[in-house]
Structure 1
């Protein structure tokens, strides 16, 4: 059957209809208007002179009355269920695509990939009413679009039906267990269905021998568990299920079609033209005007609707017997000697009008009373909300923070109101979201002073954080370092506190290293700039550990928490997982925070957060700069998912060059890269006591950064030492005397693209 369909499609493609232009002809009275139990409304028809000629095969049908009496798309093997002139829709049968296990060969049978190609018609697959559906166990199937002349790219989607246990299958549930569904894009006129063949199905063949993939009308599909364990889905549906198509006339807009009166299809009086919902060049539809019903493609096809008597409509007047039908409309009129509103009221004897006036007066008094009560309630609610805000402010440590701000003159810190931040972010419009993470959502905003800021809605983990929030904000407000994002202030009168930071425009180090999806071929930043950024970030962490009072542990060091300003200067951000360094050996962090791939193994094992935990995470950042690989890649093999584990493995086997970024190897000698790798290895020591401090890491990176920026940095270390007249030693001992500095703000020089 599939081969026959393909052959029919090829034949149609090579045999266009004879009419090149649409002709707004009218069908002959002798035309067949019913096939089996299906009505055939014009512009559809069977045979010459019975359908609208549009230059394609959209409205051409065939009916084999002597055989099965079924209606089909002309010369297709596609059966038609019904069609709607008013909706511009056609329902057809879609073939179910099975893929079954063969017990004889102990393997899956070959696939019969099913496809539809309607490029020679003006049909489009309705994306709102249809769903791509997969049934089976461990079954992954794909839905691919087929190109037509108006498309520039192909679309592919799919879904996977799993069976963690037959007992978990449930009738009516198609959410991934035994059955899954996914939406399709708008405007497709063809598609192909296929299965992924990588899954081993021999283990489940005893209770689920077949998988099925099909595009189906969502309203016509109801999942049953027997579909997974038997062939009931194929058998009960006769191998096919309904699909909804949209159709339109030709490829012109209404305005263009009206210019050719002989071909214009909306021929009925009281009809109107509607452009196709799929856009310009996708044709048009005809509708009867409001108050009329029928077929707008036929002369005098639109007839007045008698709203007063038509059983399809609810009686339009509020008083029975008052409806008067008019051409295209109606009106409601109260009988003689009565007055009132027959549309949505009552008709009363005129003598009762005085009584109604009294009633209206009483009602007005009641309305005044209700309005007064409403105003009092609103005042009460306003006071209640103000009280709630005061409670939140107190709960988050706002009183302590306020008192400290008054006692410390010159402290540049602002307590923002909720209304100020709503104005700054246009009521936290989703379009202003610039980042989301485990510690909150960040919005871009503009203060009343015109300054652009980053506003973060935090997520609090426990009551301790709520009580100490104000105290910690006071500590963070005093941090003043060129490589740490400046905290301007906070808002404490809300349930979830909000922080206001200086806005850093050039995005994150993560995006600069890895780029956006589809940017894999984009030039990467030179290694000298990478080392410069790493050194600046290390200086910031060293400041937090050694110079802040009290010392602060960041807790979530990663490339996405290192921002870059206009000159690509590093700015460490996101202190959502930060904590004041413990002063007691017994202090433990009861809830492990951070990001997978960067987390210190010792921290996860002992729940004790130290400054060496930040050192471990920074070591992973150095690996990303060396390799341009992500810290965690779930698509890799188990031993290669974590970048740190993969790095230590190749380093131990003296295969460092295999993991290094190709651009890095072409820019610098291996000796410099080995020294950076050795520093990263020291940061990744399992025993935190064996790791260097961030101050030591910053000092080492300062030396390596100067070496990388110097013109001699491209030579190997022994050549540099020879030129300097010294003996071999570590790169950290080499102090270059040159004062030449390379500018990294010239993007044409360094070969990178500014983040969009």
Structure 2
């Protein structure tokens, strides 16, 4: 009910305002139609002789727009730049121009003459295309060329005049279009649509014997207004006298400056006033603009209040109202009111319908405005999240790091694009969860499958890790390092988009046989976490050596081959992904750091995963490439033993590294190695070689550890040796379902 009362109140108010507006419009229209139109400023002369002087032209100071439009009046004759003015309109002026004849110089035998023609030195005036080029003489060719370009295609106008064998005689009347046919000693041609401000005029003989010049040694070329006829020509059949001349009328265009309307409207000296429109000049290359009163108005558009409303009702010729209606003048237009009752009712109905349509439009505008404001708030939120999620940090890092090229920059995905790809981050799309975030499987609009990493929380340290991961991965192009496709920073938490690796993590595969086992070192929660995208299979020994070599190769590339060395700092089996062909791909660069080539280490807060952290780094806080070597040694131990690095249900367990190194020291390494590997390999020396390499990587003294380049080379050599062995089976032959049995090393127990 309250809503209905409000709407009716709004409707009544709107109707009242419309009535008031109609009354005011009618009153103003009556006042404006009764006002006297003036073409000049107050207290400024409007005429000089028979010539009307409209503003922006003017006689005397404060009466013209600027000096270019100053008019001097001498003996009732108006002059502009010392040229006599016959007429001034709102777009052109007509001047009197004196033309003298060309004379043939018999001694020099010159058969071509040229002269220079310019409307005025001011940029406001140019020769109008309302003029014609006229040439008078026998066997002559006259033409005008653009002075600026001088090229062959810059002809402004041209014509040829012939006389035949008859003696030509131009009467004292000006040549008309019917007279100047080109075959009677006179020709004429229109100027081009766009006339240059100044140009050269040429006249030359066509007859090589030059009889045209010798028989009558004077010819004329003229540029005169079309249809001008009040001033005559000199008789040309005799010899030219020194005082021969022709005075013709020439039309000039005038504009306000050389700016376009768009640019002029932003200037303080914009010439067009209220109720007028700006018109760009298209008749000359330099441009410029003029003003004209808007439709329904008349007067001088350059004067304040110069454009006044036209009373269309004052004359039947100005309106189209039927006989049974009454014409009502309004500002800029008029309307026809009917005196018939039926028509009045129809009009009231139309007003009601119009009001209803207006209401609907207002509602639509309100809805649109609401949507626009909501969209605006969303954009503000996106900008806020962009700053909070490290967008400014990303730009700063890119600008400071000159080695990040444009081609390697990650794509910035839209929020809506990733929401659609992951079905609004549906739980069924989750690939895995970790301490830093959750990874979802998504499909982009082009059908490509991606992994979308969504951070758990937003704090400064995590944002720096996120931006760091983007920048590092965007510079790496290696088949065994995960490829970043882009990121999204306009969401509440940052999102990272990278290629989808389909076969889970290395940890899931090497510890998959622990499911349903009776291994006392593994808790039930750890077993439940081993969810693989495919049924668990055994990784053969050849598999494991090749995977280790691929991981080592990727780390070697990061340490030695990248333009700036990159330290991963969080190498672990959970961060090694396997594709459909069981190729290893290193991922999760959130803790990575870039090391300048002139530095050997970085001092940072200790970061990484317990069990994989270099003890020396843990103690000193100095991050070096040997920290990744240590973590890789832990992965080698996992590949050899299929055991977890730490167990949460046995606090007294010293961990895999201690048990592994102790087994090597006690020469009982075979007892801790996965029995499936021992059974498959049959050569303990091969296992021992890899175990010793792992021991070197796990050396507590970082300086005694090998580089990743050395590790990669040694593992590659081990792989080649296995391939050369005749009994070695292929990769596919070594894939079989995982057995549910597990092996627990008794080596440490024997020590006890």
Tell me which interval the TM-score lies in, with the shorter structure as reference length. 0.3 to 0.5
The structure whose Rg is larger is 2
The structure whose RCO (Cα within 8 Å, separation 6+) is larger is 2
- Relative to the length of structure 1, the TM-score reads 0.44
Q: TM-score, normalised by structure 2?
A: 0.45
